Structure 1
Amino acid sequence: MWTSARYIFCTMSVFAGLAVMFYYNHIEFKHPKMRSQKLPIATDTITALDNRTFIISPYYEPRLSQSVRVIAIIHVSVKELYCIFHCSSNQNVFVRAKINLHDDRFGFPYGTADLLCAEPSGCDYTYMSFSSTISINTGQDLLFEVKNRPPQSISSNFTVCISTLFANYSNVLQMIQSIEMYKILGASKVTIYKTNCSQDVDKVLRHYIDEGTLEVVPWPIDRHFQTSDKWHYFEGLNAEIGYYGQTASLNDCLYRNMYKSKFLLINDIDEIILPIKDQDWSSLMENLQNKYPNTSVFRFESHLFPIPVNNSGFDLWPHVPGVNILTYHLRSPNKGNNFNAPKMVMNPRDVFQTSIHLASTPKQTTNIREDTAILFHCKMRNKYTVKDLVPHDRLMSYNLSLVPNVDKVIQELFPQQ
């Protein structure tokens, strides 16, 4: 009887040990396909797995021994998730995800996360799904196409990532001027994440989509979360995620364009990375790469242009709503070591994760001096007066190209009656 009990104990110990290894180490659990051929393909930018996990998109990650990186938004309590690879053979393979919740959650209960899943051996796949448990009865009813598999060839030199348009964004004139400036400086593509905007702004977006300059990614963040325009959580704030999920959209933009664009610019629609010594981004980046060959992320300090100055020579479109950046040529001087909210130009293939002002890269990050380039940030602030500011006319040097380009778009979309 004792021998029998010892046998049972040893057997249970072996199974328990295997279970622990199964749970905590790399997991591949295979079973015959269950309905996968009939499952619909996810089309929304944000898809709820349950009320704690929201999938944005999976991307092939060849830099980490052939794996898949899934951009997601998760609750801080989530500790276990599985990628389900749908193989072309008659198998689905569960692989436990390594969960990396980004540090820049700023106290909110939900934040951006990477789910890293190693490719299962011998599995030819195009689609995957997800589960919070390893049960084959997952209830998962959507397939997600794994993007960047294989990686595309680079088709753009510069892509600008903009996130996000919210609160019925209506700044028509500044949007047109900013996009036209991006084009003058060398952008071949702009990616904008849109929650909502005015009808006039939507007309502008459609124009640039038809032109081939713009990709608009729907960003229905307020359908899933109580959102906030605050970046930091504080007691009493009725919000689950900060600043409309901005970091999630930026990381999706990073991976969406990783193999399409040589360089990626991370900034807001009211910001322009403006060269001082060079005429455009191509010459700027060529000089910076020659000077800093081991740098993959370049940060440009923000300079606020907070009030307009009456200038009838550039008051050309009074019927168009929004800020006219050509009337903003007084800059607020930056003070000492104060944080100046820099934005970035990066080689996306060297970056694993991005925040708003800083990116994670194994190579160097270099801060660029204001005599080389600045982040022109045109945003009205009533607390400033002319005596607080200093002249800065660099943007004016582009007016011979910018004015006719902007005017052409406005005459097409918003002709005066």
Structure 2
Amino acid sequence: MRKCFRYTFCALSMFICVVVITFSYHVQFRHRKMRSQKLPIATDTITALDNRTFIISPYYEPRLGQSVRVIAIIHVSVKELYCIFHCSSNQNVFVRAEIDLHSDRFGFPYGTADLLCAEPFGCHYTYMSFSSTNSTKTIHELLFEVKNRPPPPISSNFTVCISTLYGNYNNILQMIQSIEMYKILGASRVTIYNTNCSQDVDKVLRHYIDEGTLEVVPWPIDHHLHTAKGWRYSKVPTAEVGYFGQTAALNDCLYRNMYKSKFVLLNDIDEIILPIKDWDWSSLMENLQNKYPDTSVFRIENHIFPNSVNISGFDLWSHVPGVNILHHSVREPINWKLFNGCKLIVNPRDVFQTSVHSALKQRGRWKNIGSDTVLTFHCTHKYRRDIPTEELIPDDVLRRHNMSLVPNVDKVIQRLFPQQ
């Protein structure tokens, strides 16, 4: 009888323990679920995880197995980071990130990095968060939506990525002329990263956003780090990151448009990639791909058209601030002993990392394309100050498009900046 009572008591005690543990588990589980649902979603382009790590955006990466690539800016001392996948089963799965700091940091203590995280098996997710350790106490209390999952269908042939506007940018006329030329050449989308600009430039940006041509990505890098206008840390040792984090912006733009655009062009707002033998980018790329079928990165020679030399007498739009690129139809001869930064046309689905003048990691080949086929029309200050004006090379390649460019630009200016 006592044995039976003892067994009954033990069984009852075990049952009570199981009930208590199960109840506690469900209470904790429910609490985690509620907390997860209340986490805010990150809306800023740049989000500080701490003072050494800044998250830009996570992107689905199907090319390396099922994984997520997170574009970030990190300090060179960062060696450990974790992706936390928020599964639909209400589980948070920690995955240690493989940190790939890009090779073109130019000596600055902060640089662009990829955080590569393998998808956890059986985890259906939309959002993730991040931590500097694998402790649940250190989870950054923001959710980031993983973009490109699933990859969307390609909806345009050419997208131009431009970074970054800074220094209260106010070159209104050249911006309008450049965007109109991009449209003439075949761009269906232009993406601009904007740190700061004037009110008049903002008016231009809003016009092209409303038109459906432009996507403007806020880029408040100067709110987080001391930035430099130059590329070499030795020239600006007080800065933390080079040239307003341009390489991070370009890589984000690459992934943002990876599955939307057949080709992506990487250049600045004062540059236009101009075909010489062909009329537009579609015919240019068709010919280049036929000639170089295994090539995914095309490097286009940079040619300086000094904006200090005006030989055209073209005097439309003198009331609009900025450089009139139609004034400038002579270019500097290239000195091949000096660095000449190319700009890029890439198949984004074959590129893993890009810098400003070359891709860092890609599938397929890269190819330098000569100026007899295409060139980068770069209308800016004189690069080689030792060259007298009479030695500059006449080149009216841009004026071939005047019949379309002039009325298109004039239409925008009459709408936004009519003469009083």
TM-score, normalization: structure 2?
Answer: 0.90
Map 1:341-380; keep pairs closer than 5 Å.
Answer: 341-359=341-359, 360-380=361-381
Please report how far the alpha carbon of residue 310 of structure 1 lies from its aligned counterpart in structure 2 after TM superposition: 4.0
Q: Write the distance in 1 (CA, Å) between the matches of 2:225 and 2:338.
A: 33
Letter in structure 2 aligned against 1:229: K
Per the alignment, residue 404 of structure 1 pairs with 407
Per the alignment, residue 133 of structure 1 pairs with 133
Please report how far the alpha carbon of residue 380 of structure 1 lies from its aligned counterpart in structure 2 after TM superposition: 2.3
User: Which of the pair has more CA radius of gyration?
Assistant: 2
Unaligned runs of 5+ in 2: 1-27
Matched, 1:392 2:395: yes
Please report how far the alpha carbon of residue 268 of structure 1 lies from its aligned counterpart in structure 2 after TM superposition: 0.2
Map 1:3-402; keep pairs closer than 5 Å.
Answer: 33=32, 35-234=35-234, 237-306=237-306, 307-312=308-313, 314-359=314-359, 360-381=361-382, 383=385, 385-402=388-405
Per the alignment, residue 12 of structure 2 pairs with none
Q: Write the distance in 2 (CA, Å) between the matches of 1:167 and 1:207.
A: 21
Please report how far the alpha carbon of residue 279 of structure 1 lies from its aligned counterpart in structure 2 after TM superposition: 0.2
Please report how far the alpha carbon of residue 232 of structure 1 lies from its aligned counterpart in structure 2 after TM superposition: 1.0
Q: Write the distance in 2 (CA, Å) between the matches of 1:133 and 1:248.
A: 24
Q: Write the distance in 1 (CA, Å) between the matches of 2:235 and 2:393.
A: 39
Q: Which moved more, 1:245-254 or 1:31-40?
A: 31-40
Q: Deviations over 1:251-298 (max 9, x none)?
A: 000000000000000000000000000000000000000000000000
Letter in structure 1 aligned against 2:206: R
Q: Which moved more, 1:31-40 or 1:348-357?
A: 31-40
Letter in structure 2 aligned against 1:145: E
Please report how far the alpha carbon of residue 235 of structure 1 lies from its aligned counterpart in structure 2 after TM superposition: 6.4
Letter in structure 2 aligned against 1:403: V
Q: Secondary structure of the equivalent of 2:187?
A: coil
Q: Deviations over 1:152-204 (max 9, x none)?
A: 00001000000000000000000000000000000000000000001110000
Q: Write the distance in 2 (CA, Å) between the matches of 1:241 and 1:388.
A: 38
Please report how far the alpha carbon of residue 36 of structure 1 lies from its aligned counterpart in structure 2 after TM superposition: 1.4
Per the alignment, residue 19 of structure 2 pairs with none
Q: Which moved more, 1:92-101 or 1:334-343?
A: 334-343
Distance 1:199 1:396, change over 3 A: same
Q: Write the distance in 1 (CA, Å) between the matches of 2:66 and 2:207.
A: 39
Distance 1:294 1:337, change over 3 A: farther
Unaligned runs of 5+ in 1: 1-30
Q: Deviations over 1:366-385 (max 9, x none)?
A: 00011000011000228354
Identity %: 74
TM-score, normalization: structure 1?
Answer: 0.91
Q: Write the distance in 1 (CA, Å) between the matches of 2:70 and 2:139.
A: 19
The answer to whether the 8 A contact 2:351-2:362 is kept is yes
Q: Write the distance in 1 (CA, Å) between the matches of 2:236 and 2:220.
A: 24
Letter in structure 2 aligned against 1:370: S
Please report how far the alpha carbon of residue 238 of structure 1 lies from its aligned counterpart in structure 2 after TM superposition: 1.4
Per the alignment, residue 26 of structure 1 pairs with none
